[in-house]
Amino acid sequence: MRLIALPEGTYTVGLDKVFIPFNPKTDSIKDRPASLLVEIQPFLLNTTHDIILCDTGLGYTDTLGELILHKNIKSHGIMPEQITKVLLSHLHFDHVGGTVVRENGTLKLAFPRATYYVQKKEFQKAMEAPSKSYRLEILDALLNSGQLEFLDGDGYINEDIHYEITGGHTEFHQAFTIKDDHDIFFFGGDVLPDLYQLIRKFVAKYDFDGKKSAELRIAFGERSINQNSTLLFYHSIKVPFCKIVKTEIGFRVRE
């Protein structure tokens, strides 16, 4: 199985939930108090049966109006039409921006042949309780596309792809395990967004249930060692994915 990280760039995000591009060469985090420094990084997995995307980024475009996500995918020799499944951990706009593309003022799905997988209750919550973190026009486009498939609880999409509700970050946030004969990959979305949150035992104020997320990170870390799986970190700047080992005080990257 082939795994490709598709970085959309580095940003700071504050309590206002606005993502501002951050250039490490010219910008300083000290100038942006109360902000979190994050990468935005969807993943592509090429399995025997599918070409899968894990979350879709902010959906930013270049100066010519092309989706950065499309450019990134094409740079690896894959066309957007070839994507068969889009797995969405949750519906915050920094994870679903690239599910859609704007053409002549209307939104259409960015991956015309893909099925998009969303937890049903995550979708319901997002529709019921609009917040700065959700974009209703994206949810509407997904709902009206005929390409949306709701998942309810835990289960398998096919023999390769397992989904499970984690809660933690949002009430019905989900994680995915994707495996073939050789490899196992774990995409923990915003419950396991960054290697350093696993190492430093971080409790995030922005989580629906930060304590649960922190406990889950440790459980997922342990599981990853037992399964010999690779962890995918959507918001990690330095290490997009890795395997880990246990230490006396927690975890570290497996060299």
Q: Which residues bind Zn ion (CB under 5 A)?
A: 92, 190
Encoded tokens for 247:
């230490």
Nearer to Zn ion, 51 or 216 (CB): 216
Question: Which residue lies nearest Zn ion, judged by its C-beta?
Answer: 92
Q: Would you call 76 helix, strand, or coil by DSSP?
A: coil
Minimum distance from CB of 52 to Zn ion (Å)?
20
Q: Give the integer Cα–Cα distance in Å for 118 and 115.
A: 10
Minimum distance from CB of 92 to Zn ion (Å)?
3
The 8-class DSSP code of residue 112 comes to: T
Minimum distance from CB of 44 to Zn ion (Å)?
20
Specify whether the CB–CB gap between 180 and 192 falls below 8 A: no
Minimum distance from CB of 202 to Zn ion (Å)?
15
Nearer to Zn ion, 160 or 190 (CB): 190
Specify whether the CB–CB gap between 236 and 39 falls below 8 A: yes
Q: Give the integer Cα–Cα distance in Å for 4 and 52.
A: 10
Q: Give the integer Cα–Cα distance in Å for 94 and 136.
A: 13
Minimum distance from CB of 16 to Zn ion (Å)?
15
Nearer to Zn ion, 137 or 222 (CB): 137
Q: Give the integer Cα–Cα distance in Å for 233 and 195.
A: 7
Nearer to Zn ion, 70 or 173 (CB): 173
Nearer to Zn ion, 39 or 190 (CB): 190
CA distances from 48 to 45, 52, 53, 160, 223 (A): 10, 11, 14, 9, 24
Nearer to Zn ion, 150 or 206 (CB): 206
All residues at 6 or more sequence positions from 222 whose CB lies less than 8 Å from its CB, including other chains: 246
Minimum distance from CB of 74 to Zn ion (Å)?
27
Nearer to Zn ion, 50 or 190 (CB): 190
Minimum distance from CB of 129 to Zn ion (Å)?
14
All residues at 6 or more sequence positions from 5 whose CB lies less than 8 Å from its CB, including other chains: 41, 42, 43, 232, 240, 241
